[in-house]
Chains A and B, each alone.
Chain A
């Protein structure tokens, strides 16, 4: 069956370390992939988009990789801060108008 998998367990890391979140998918061939941040009680906020022909994308302390062979995207936050604590969602754009979200991974950054 078609599905998107993100770490269901929360990720706990120490401030200053690099957080790495994983998004795996099966049976899809996304044209591109997006990462969103969601805080409790708020709607998701767009962070980064990476296209199928791009290997890596960076924005400030954020880095996203996209491996269409492994069907995986990795999302990195370097020099993490307590303010980075949130749920991070990956979203696959499947072509046309269709986008599908993963369940998200909760990140806790401890001071």
Chain B
């Protein structure tokens, strides 16, 4: 079974520039997550999709971050404009969770390491 695919693996941009990350979840997984992981910290949920609907984006800085999930499959996360404090690893994960069912494990991609200079 193919895992969660993310690209790019690394990205270096200057502050105030924009950047986009792409994620392709495991086939058939209805739930997709974007996490931000700052060095030395645990992953922090930015946004969670159930199919192509948003179920939690309470920690997404909506003035600069946006995300969409096209047709309930692939997803993109965008930052515009980037700040120095956005330097982190951006992890995409998916799980086979259905509405009303107990959550199951999340499968993570390798992440995109973003450096804002």
Tell me the A residues contacting B by CB distance below 8 Å.
4, 31-32, 34, 41-46, 49, 89, 91, 93, 97-104
Stretch at the interface among B12-20, B42-50, B60-68, B69-77: B42-50
Q: How many residues of B contact A (CB 8 A)?
A: 26
Tell me the B residues contacting A by CB distance below 8 Å.
4, 31, 35, 40-45, 48, 50, 55-56, 91, 93, 97, 102-111
| Residue pair A101, B43 in contact (C-beta under 8 Å) | yes
**B104 contact set on A, CB distance < 8 A:** 49
| Residue pair A99, B42 in contact (C-beta under 8 Å) | no
| Residue pair B48, A97 in contact (C-beta under 8 Å) | yes
| Residue pair A44, B43 in contact (C-beta under 8 Å) | yes
Identify which of B4, B40, B103, B105 contacts A103 (C-beta below 8 A).
Answer: B40
| Residue pair A104, B91 in contact (C-beta under 8 Å) | no
Given A97-B103, A98-B56, 8 more A-B residue pairs with CB atoms under 8 Å apart are A43-B93, A43-B111, A44-B43, A97-B31, A97-B55, A101-B44, A103-B41, A104-B42
Once A43-B93, A49-B105 are accepted as A-B contacts, the answer to whether A99 and B111 lie under 8 Å apart by CB is no
**A31 contact set on B, CB distance < 8 A:** 102
| Residue pair A43, B110 in contact (C-beta under 8 Å) | yes
Residue of chain A at shortest CB distance from B49: A97
Once A97-B50, A97-B103 are accepted as A-B contacts, the answer to whether A43 and B109 lie under 8 Å apart by CB is yes
Task: Output the least CB separation between A34 and chain B (Å).
Answer: 7
Identify which of A41, A43, A49, A97 contacts B108 (C-beta below 8 A).
Answer: A43
Identify which of A34, A41, A91, A100 contacts B110 (C-beta below 8 A).
Answer: A41
In the bound complex, what is the Cα–Cα distance between A44 and B43 (angstroms)?
9
16 contacts between A and B (CB under 8 A): A31-B102, A32-B102, A34-B105, A41-B110, A43-B108, A44-B91, A44-B108, A46-B105, A46-B106, A89-B43, A97-B50, A97-B55, A99-B45, A99-B106, A101-B44, A102-B42
